[in-house]
Structure 1
Amino acid sequence: MSLGERRKALGYSQETFAQALGVDRTTVGRWESGKTEPQPPLRPRMAEVLQLDLAALDGLVSESRTPAEGVAALRLTAHQGLRDADDMIRRDFLRAIAVTGALAALPTGETEELQDGSWRGMSDDFLRMNSHLWQVYELARSKSSIHPIVRGQITALSRTLRSRPAGEVTNLCGAAGDLFQLAGELAFDNNRFTDAAASYTVAASASKDASAYDLWACALVRHAYLDVHERHYREAAETLSAAERVARRGDSLLSTRHWVASVQAEAHAGMGDLAACERALDEAEQVRHLNEGSNNGGWLRFDGTRLAEERGARYVQLGRLDLAEQALQSALEQSALAEGHSFRRRGVVLTDLAAIGAKRRDPDHVITFGREALQLAQETSSGYLARRLHRLRAEFGSLSRDARVADLDAEINTLKTT
């Protein structure tokens, strides 16, 4: 008997079976077709629903896979399992928010309050841990290495929500708005755009519930950047306009509104509007007039140190190559001098400089900067940097007749974007 046959024998459709386990119907379909396997945390509940012991369940899972499918499934299981686990974590968090929100709406006296006051420092503890995780994320060569820790932190936050008094929900929502933005960054870097969008949406919703306007605006900026990355510039501009309005209600001493302007510049450049792009860049430059502490080093890291590379990248988009090269060379020198600089950021600057060489049909320029960017992509396993390099290949054209450029093109082609 296969997994699907057992499910049907017990009267479950794929949809009702999925609901019993807290997963999507398509996930059940993948299990039954042998494309993926249920992850270990799910199996006890799955065995219970199917009225089996774990050993019998393992046998059904194995039966669902043909030898040919097995090879492909082994390649897909880890990636799909990661997506399923992330989806379950988001659902668990939203369920906890729904329950505690309902309790908060009840009349006074109908909700249970803790007497010892031990919950008061919980949200601060989560925020401190979140801040540490952002620092690790910024410095890590391989961003995916911290994904398990972030998932664990979200799981702990969900459990805490279920055990806290309703009055503490607002503070914990702020911690969630922070943490889900980091989860979205990790998904984005791993080329999982739908997961990234889902995490940013949860982050925006939690931040709104916490009345944390700067946190909310930053979640919207990150969501807009998904459209920017996919070159849907008008859609991005609409989201950024909303982020701008939210940021106006935030803390004027923070750099949130300047970061919004920086990403708006990219959207304007994508639409070919040089004047609007430069106005937005000039607004972003005003961050330099803010006092120290205008960013928190976590969900808000915009402090002006990236403006040279941002301006250079925008000029590349607009075809102003001389202006672009000057700004990007300055950014490259700054990154070499900075302590704890991001390897991914340096790789992006190198890729933009290589793109300038490609547009000028200069193979030496392409090789000088493209080779170093490729090395950083290989060392960091950054899906984002790999995607930028794959876009660079589209600029090569006739330059690929040069053996060195052809070799670079072939090596970039082997980079994985996930």
Structure 2
Amino acid sequence: MGLKERRKARGYSQESFAVAVGVDRTTVGRWERGETEPQPPLRPRLAELLGLDLAGLGALLSPQAVTQEAEGHLDDLTSDSGDDMIRRDFLRILAVAGALPALPADGVLDEAADFRAMNEHLWQVYQLARSKRGVYPIVRDQLAALTDELKDGRDTTGLCMAAGDLFQLAGELAFDQNRYTDAAASYTLAASASREARHFDLWACALTRHAYVSLYERQWADAAGVLTAAERVARRGDSHLATRHWVAAVQAQAFAGMGNLDACERSLDEAERVLDLTADSVNGGWLRFDSSRLAEERGARYVELGRLDLAETALLGALQQAELGRGQSYRRRGAVLADLAIVGAKRRDLDEVAVYAREAMDLARRSGSGYVARKLRTLRVELRPVASDVRAAELDAELAELAA
């Protein structure tokens, strides 16, 4: 039985099913024809409507993939696509890096420092790029070069640090394109390499990024567990760095998802202690959390908790900071605008929604950011109660087009 048959057996028409999920009817049609698959944030709701668990839903959506896995086929890892090439490099470096700690060291090599310097440059390219997808080929080449060096090198600490850094960047690229499995794989490798290097801050950041995969699948308890580990690792790191404060900011998101306002507030207060640190508390690469992100983080958490007045104040403050020269990437500004649009939708102020949402959509198109697009999918859900309003219908159609 496929998705179409299961939907009908549960008594849904294609249109009523689309409304229940919060997507356009044409999106459901593409799912049923096998042209696309539902993104992870939508899957818990889909499984609920179809009377399945997540594993059963996965089997329903991709029966061929399940069969291949059972038979041991790995055809998907031999594709020539850029994403699959990165995946193969992940697996190859994991195998090589796992053997390296047992090898004797002949001294410090210059290559490790060169890799770390190149990684710093790649993070700058990533942050400046409007479309993150374009950074893939450069990261792929760096992964290939690092793989070759890992085969012959003996500076295991330096090379593992470089690997822990680069895997986090690769994970960011995958995550922004909604490739959660690839992102989780890269963050796992980053954590493993950082642990081998005994670099606690790098390790804690890898764990924190890994928690985002669970957060965006609304697996709050799973994310909280990973973040507890990140918090413990960060305590062993450099107290002059912002690592533990970033961990606290992400913990606040998990607590907000659980509806725990008090715990969320405590974590946000801990995150704000980053204000006590000096300017060199971040490195602009794998650690970027600074005071410029406090307002948008607090605003986003209040949106999740339904504290709309507090959310609006914080989010408008984040925009004002950007206008005063604090700076925001397309991705971050788009996320703030999407949250403001969600506040407007919860208040049923469609004029406010339209202003913020259309600017957010423009930034999502210009940057190709899956992160902003995910925020805007939430906005579609908030617009359901006013779907009969012409303005809401027009906006929903634009959001559906962006999602498609």
Q: Tell me if both proteins adopt one fold, taking TM over 0.5 as the criterion.
A: yes
Where on the TM-score scale, by shorter chain, does this alignment land: which range? Answer: 0.7 to 0.9
1:378 aligns to what? 365
Please state whether the residue corresponding to 2:103 is helix, strand or coil.
Answer: helix
Partner of 1:101: 101
- After TM superposition, the structure 1 = structure 2 runs for residues 264-413 of structure 1, keeping only pairs within 5 Å, are 264-338=251-325, 341-413=328-400
Q: Give 1:211 shift.
A: 0.2
How many angstroms apart in 2 are the aligned matches of 1:354 and 1:98?
Answer: 47
Deviates more, 1:378-387 or 1:281-290: 378-387
For residues 76-115 of structure 1, give each alpha carbon's deviation from its aligned partner in whole angstroms, at most 9, with x where no partner exists: xxxxx334212210122123213433433xxxxxx8x5xx
Q: Distance in 1 between matches of 2:299 and 2:222?
A: 23
Cα separation, partners in 2 of 1:241 and 1:155, compared to 1, 3 Å = same
CA distance in 2, matches of 1:26, 1:357: 49
What is the TM-score when the length of structure 2 is the normalising length? 0.79
* Residues in 1 aligned to 2:390 and 2:87: alpha-carbon distance in whole angstroms: 45
**CA contact 1:139–1:341 (8 Å) conserved in 2:** no
Q: CA RMSD in A?
A: 1.9
For 1:22-73, what per-residue CA distance to the aligned partner results, in whole angstroms no more than 9, with x for missing partners? xx94443x69xxxxx842xxxxxxxxxxxxxxxxxxxxxxxxxxxxxxxxxx
Per-residue deviation, residues 116-162 of structure 1 (Å, max 9, x unmatched): x7x62211111111111111111211011101101111110110111
154-163 or 179-188, larger mean C-alpha shift: 154-163
CA–CA separation in structure 2 for the residues paired with 1:340 and 1:377:
17
Q: Supply the distance in 2 between the matched residues of 1:306 and 1:122 (Cα, whole angstroms).
A: 34
1:415 is aligned with what amino acid?
L
**How far has the Cα of 1:321 moved from its partner?**
0.5
Structure 2: tracts of 5 or more residues without a match: 1-67
Q: Give the 3-state SS of the residue equivalent to 2:283 in structure 1.
A: coil
2:22 corresponds in structure 1 to none
Provide the rounded CA distance (Å) in 2 between the counterparts of 1:235 and 1:347.
27
Paired residue type of 1:121: D
Contact 1:312 1:323 (8 Å CA) reproduced: yes
- Give the counterpart of 1:121 among 95, 105, 110: 110
> Can you list the C-alpha shifts for 1:336-392, whole angstroms capped at 9, x where unaligned?
333652101000000000000100011111101011001111111111111211121
Q: Which runs of 5+ in 1 are unaligned?
A: 1-17, 19-23, 32-36, 40-80, 105-110
Q: TM-score, normalised by structure 1?
A: 0.77
1:164 equivalent in structure 2? 153
Structure-2 residue corresponding to 1:131: 120
> C-alpha separation between the residues in 1 aligned to 2:79 and 2:298?
46
> Which of the residues 131, 135, 143 maps onto 2:132?
143
Distance 1:304 1:26, change over 3 A: farther
Query: Which runs of structure 2 are paired with 1:228-243 in the superposition (5 Å)?
Result: 228-243=215-230
Query: Greater shift after overlay, 380-389 or 394-403?
Result: 394-403
Question: For 1:385 and 1:214, how far apart are their aligned partners in 2?
Answer: 27
Amino acid across the alignment from 2:238: D
1:89 corresponds to which residue? 89
